[in-house]
Structure 1
Amino acid sequence: MPLGNPATPIGIANINSTVTTPFTLHVIPRDQHTISRKDISPNALRVLYRLREAGFGAYLVGGAVRDLLVDGRPKDFDVATDATPEQVKQLFRNCRLIGRRFRLAHVVFGREIIEVATFRANSDDGSGDREVENGMLVRDNVYGSIEDDAVRRDFTCNALYYAIEDFSVRDYTGGFEDVMARRMRLIGDPEQRYREDPVRMLRAVRLAAKLNFQIDGPTAEPLPRLANLLSEAAPARLFEEVLKLFLSGHGVASFEGLERYGLFAVLFPESAAALKSNRTGALRRILIEGLRNTDDRVANEEPVSPAFLFALLLWPAFCRALIGLQKQGMAPEEAQRRAADRVTLHQLTTIALPRRFSLPMQEIWLLQSRFGSRQRKRVLRTLSHPRFRAAFDFLLLRQAASPEHQDDIAFWREAQLQNGQDLESAPDSVLAEDGQEGDVPRRRRRRRRSGGSATTTTTGE
């Protein structure tokens, strides 16, 4: 595709409107940006060159260009082209076509996938494949020019194109200037774009957190007003978005952004209510500490668990539900089980939390009540529980809210260093024999301090 005039006026047509907004094409030559081919995936370069050699336009696009400009390390490299998905498949034997809402070509190189998308257009003359339900796009496969493709993207920072033929960056929406200013700005009318796809509100917060960008005023203004639109999004999609928000290394900033714009209360209504009513701020301290630890693990390339994440995010809701059941006079163990089930069931109406994560999440909560016990067999059973390590890590987080867990942490830290025989032969001053009431006075003392089992401790927190 020819380079064209560096200042060619173009227009943006909204999907459901004929109104256009003028924009200007800016070409940023190689000596005025920091992108180098050595930082681009060799497989992405192969795709770009093959498409160009076949006579098609081919550009590195979106997040990879944005991240390269801010000295980031892109994990994925996407390509935009004027070749149709079927034409891309003809060029690459290692290509498969996917998607219903967006038809895409995936070129597979071992474990790396280069996603190739055909330029899409805003307006549909009837020859394309677009479907809108209640103002939301459910299918969008109307192909167009690179200009069309640029102006239908979500944020200006994602509408930048790296041209392989001359190594320039093509900017149709002012995205290059926004990236340099570290600014998140939606293309087109923000309210309309959010109504088309409410998940864009989460993307705005997530990208701002990841890139340390500020959300532009007009882009931020509708967020609190339209937050409830998230309830119309598919619960399975929201689950994936939550993982991106909190398990990508920027969880604390993402949480603060969601809170600031009223989005957290829509995603996690019961936790948000619990945080608001917790006057000591203890529950919030646990949440922030847990997210900070998760960010550190991601930065150190250590594994992170969705089950542990949701145990953290829904812990305020669990504590609040537990207190309510206790006030009704329910027995402690039954109250804990009921609270765990109730919170999980209510959350599923918003976010589709798979059972392979919700069950371990509940076990992490329920194990908290065992940390106050010193009965010999209970200690051994607790140590052998498959979720013990995660539950103990969760206990460590609770220390951020209350120092009263210090004795329990010290005991269980030492218990992990001993083998079964050592624990079996431990003196009664350390472990109570089964059936003895040796640990009851201790638990009663802790109860007066709002401590002891998870039942009393969560109330204190």
Structure 2
Amino acid sequence: MLTGLKSLVRKATSLFASPQAQTYPIIIPRSDHSLSRQNLSPNAVKVLYRLNKAGYDAYLVGGCVRDHLIGIDPKDFDVVTNATPEEVHTIFSNSRLIGRRFKLVHVTFGREIIEVSTFRASAAQEDNDDENTSTTSLKGKDSARSAHGIVLRDNVYGNIEEDAERRDFTFNALYYNVKDFSIHDYCGGLKDIENKQIRIIGDARQRYQEDPVRMLRAIRFAGKLGFELEAKTAAPIKEMAHLLDHIPPARLFEEVLKLLGSGNGIETFVLLRQYGLFRYLFPDAEALLQSGWKRDDINPEAFILQGLKNTDDRIQSGKTTAPYFLYAVLLWPSVALRHEEFQAQGMPATPALHQAANMVLDNQVASTAIPRRFSTPMREIWDMQFRLPKRYGKRAFLLLEHPRFRAGFDFLLIRELSGTKLDGLGDWWEAFQHGSENQQRELIKNIDARSNDKEGPKKRRPRRRRKSNGNSTSASTLSETSDE
């Protein structure tokens, strides 16, 4: 696909006499590109045509256009229009208005959601040293920034040229016009795709100041696409990474899932640490990795990398992953460290585990919020690591029926693959799951025998003598009576 893109870029730039005096937008006619309606969501096309029929301009924008040109099957189809959110909502009965920070419309078709946004212009920032926020308005809409310069609301509407300028990266400022099936390049995104380069639109420092999450998006695209960060785009990231502290933890929770749960987790993890961003997402985990702490049964970095590889492999093979499993992997080394510390203070193993989990989760939610529907199964997965070795008697059958068994077993395998020695525990549970009832009982019998060998012969308890109530006859008397 990139080979065809080179030809496309050459045709586009040849439209102008001097590449140095490039004029935008570059409009690529249908005959010169391969994106067609067959590559698009039929529901997205319906939204475009309905908006056009109502008298509005409407384009597909961003990822769906970019991914097709790179050679990736588009998944998200975002529409941008000059209709306001309220006008879009009126046109589509199957829609709802969402968002305060950015007002959007979600048009639903069963499980598919087509996101529709209005052309936006850059919100001018007012200098105000006396107040924590500054507010401006344009065309009846509003914007606001925090004392740190972060955009809190951005509902200042504009035209398509202004919309392109306020997008984050050049390859996200590509628009597909369903009226004539042309692609419009407003910021040089085609050339940057050809060069496999991520370049931010405008001044990098200002754009990261407006929204620090753009630094995470730059890393996500680098990990996903294998592109290099352009020098000016990369330069301020380490210095400005601390601004992530001012982003709501709930928003960062979602960003982590996109960063590390999209099939390129290992590459993204390495880049996050390289650019000093990981510490603002997982401060305890980063501190642990920096300290070099490890012990015989866990190597934190090896374990996290193995967990990310497991997630990447599943996603790339078309399988799903649970957010709580990813977070359980990333936080497990910190739980193991705290568990060790509490046990060293004399706390029994199970209460020490629960206390360690509480501490780690309490610390983590200050950075990335973790909903209770995810934190509860995380605790259960960690708890299973201490229950799975206890396979005696009926326990193995009970554990097999536990709703979190499969996740706990997969987690156990990751521990083994990362170097943790568990005396063949993973193989035992693999055989137990798929064995017949007789085979399962034999496996348990062997475990019971091994346990007895380690513990030595069991001491017999002395028989408790039955207390006499004064009316009963002694054993010797009964014996003598029976002899007579």
TM score, norm. by length of structure 2: 0.80
Code of the residue aligned with 2:229 in structure 1: it is I
**Structure 2 equivalent of residue 339 of structure 1:** 356
- The 3 A distance-change label for structure 1 pair 438 and 57 is same
- The structure 1 residue matched to 2:171, chosen from 150, 153, 157, is 157
**Structure 2 equivalent of residue 130 of structure 1:** 143
**Structure 2 equivalent of residue 253 of structure 1:** 267
Separation in 1, partners of 2:271, 2:444: 51
Separation in 1, partners of 2:228, 2:444: 59
Name the SS of the counterpart of 2:152 in structure 1: strand
Q: Is the 8 A contact 1:318 1:339 kept in 2?
A: yes
Q: Is the 8 A contact 2:164 2:173 kept in 1?
A: yes
Name the SS of the counterpart of 1:129 in structure 2: strand
Q: Is the 8 A contact 2:306 2:418 kept in 1?
A: no
Q: Is the 8 A contact 2:285 2:330 kept in 1?
A: yes
- The structure 2 residue matched to 1:357, chosen from 348, 367, 374, is 374
Separation in 1, partners of 2:240, 2:81: 34
Structure 2 gap ranges (5+): 1-14, 125-135, 457-484
Separation in 2, partners of 1:273, 1:440: 40
Name the SS of the counterpart of 1:369 in structure 2: helix
Separation in 1, partners of 2:200, 2:371: 32
Does residue 239 in structure 1 map to residue 250 in structure 2?
A: no
- The structure 2 residue matched to 1:383, chosen from 389, 400, 415, is 400
**Structure 1 equivalent of residue 480 of structure 2:** none
Separation in 1, partners of 2:39, 2:53: 22
**Structure 2 equivalent of residue 370 of structure 1:** 387
Separation in 1, partners of 2:98, 2:443: 61
How far does residue 23 in structure 1 lie from its aligned partner after superposition? Answer: 7.0
Q: Is the 8 A contact 2:102 2:154 kept in 1?
A: yes
Q: Deviations over 1:243-279 (max 9, x none)?
A: 1122222211221221111111111111112222336
- The 3 A distance-change label for structure 1 pair 330 and 60 is same
Separation in 1, partners of 2:47, 2:251: 29
Name the SS of the counterpart of 1:96 in structure 2: strand
**Structure 1 equivalent of residue 104 of structure 2:** 104
Identical-pair percentage: 48
Separation in 2, partners of 1:410, 1:57: 60
Code of the residue aligned with 1:248 in structure 2: it is S
How far does residue 307 in structure 1 lie from its aligned partner after superposition? Answer: 1.6
Separation in 1, partners of 2:444, 2:384: 24
Q: Is the 8 A contact 2:432 2:439 kept in 1?
A: no
**Greater Rg over alpha carbons, structure:** 2
Separation in 1, partners of 2:403, 2:341: 29
Code of the residue aligned with 1:170 in structure 2: it is H
How far does residue 353 in structure 1 lie from its aligned partner after superposition? Answer: 0.6
Code of the residue aligned with 1:390 in structure 2: it is A
Separation in 2, partners of 1:91, 1:363: 46
Separation in 2, partners of 1:431, 1:331: 24
Separation in 2, partners of 1:71, 1:425: 53
Separation in 2, partners of 1:174, 1:207: 17
How far does residue 156 in structure 1 lie from its aligned partner after superposition? Answer: 1.0
**Structure 1 equivalent of residue 448 of structure 2:** 431
- The 3 A distance-change label for structure 1 pair 271 and 82 is same
**Structure 1 equivalent of residue 10 of structure 2:** none
- The 3 A distance-change label for structure 1 pair 375 and 140 is same
**Structure 2 equivalent of residue 458 of structure 1:** none
Q: Is the 8 A contact 2:382 2:408 kept in 1?
A: yes
**Structure 2 equivalent of residue 139 of structure 1:** 153
How far does residue 208 in structure 1 lie from its aligned partner after superposition? Answer: 1.8
**Structure 2 equivalent of residue 407 of structure 1:** 424
Q: Is the 8 A contact 1:375 1:439 kept in 2?
A: no
Separation in 2, partners of 1:169, 1:429: 68
TM score, norm. by length of structure 1: 0.84
Code of the residue aligned with 2:413 in structure 1: it is L
**Structure 2 equivalent of residue 57 of structure 1:** 57
Counting matched residue pairs gives: 422
Separation in 1, partners of 2:166, 2:151: 12
**Structure 2 equivalent of residue 15 of structure 1:** none
Separation in 2, partners of 1:26, 1:301: 36
Q: Deviations over 1:278-315 (max 9, x none)?
A: 36692212211111111121122223111211110101
Q: Deviations over 1:83-111 (max 9, x none)?
A: 22233334333333322222222333332
Q: Deviations over 1:351-390 (max 9, x none)?
A: 1111221121122112212333343244344333322221
Code of the residue aligned with 1:105 in structure 2: it is V
Q: Is the 8 A contact 1:130 1:141 kept in 2?
A: yes
Separation in 1, partners of 2:446, 2:314: 38
Q: Is the 8 A contact 1:67 1:73 kept in 2?
A: yes
Name the SS of the counterpart of 1:273 in structure 2: helix
**Structure 1 equivalent of residue 461 of structure 2:** none
- The 3 A distance-change label for structure 1 pair 440 and 221 is farther
Separation in 1, partners of 2:88, 2:431: 60
**Structure 2 equivalent of residue 288 of structure 1:** 305
Name the SS of the counterpart of 2:341 in structure 1: helix
Does residue 40 in structure 1 map to residue 57 in structure 2?
A: no
Separation in 1, partners of 2:389, 2:455: 10
How far does residue 175 in structure 1 lie from its aligned partner after superposition? Answer: 1.3
How far does residue 168 in structure 1 lie from its aligned partner after superposition? Answer: 1.9
**Could you tell which deviates more after superposition, 123-132 or 173-182?**
123-132
Q: Is the 8 A contact 1:375 1:432 kept in 2?
A: no
Q: Is the 8 A contact 2:392 2:444 kept in 1?
A: no
How far does residue 113 in structure 1 lie from its aligned partner after superposition? Answer: 2.2
Q: Deviations over 1:108-143 (max 9, x none)?
A: 333222222111111455442112222111111111
Does residue 118 in structure 1 map to residue 132 in structure 2?
A: no
**Structure 1 equivalent of residue 222 of structure 2:** 208
CA RMSD in angstroms, aligned pairs only: 2.7
Q: Is the 8 A contact 1:297 1:304 kept in 2?
A: yes
**Structure 1 equivalent of residue 282 of structure 2:** 268
Q: Is the 8 A contact 1:64 1:77 kept in 2?
A: yes
Separation in 1, partners of 2:361, 2:453: 35
- The structure 2 residue matched to 1:298, chosen from 292, 308, 315, is 315
How far does residue 330 in structure 1 lie from its aligned partner after superposition? Answer: 3.1
Does residue 181 in structure 1 map to residue 195 in structure 2?
A: yes
- The structure 2 residue matched to 1:312, chosen from 319, 322, 329, is 329
Separation in 1, partners of 2:443, 2:99: 61
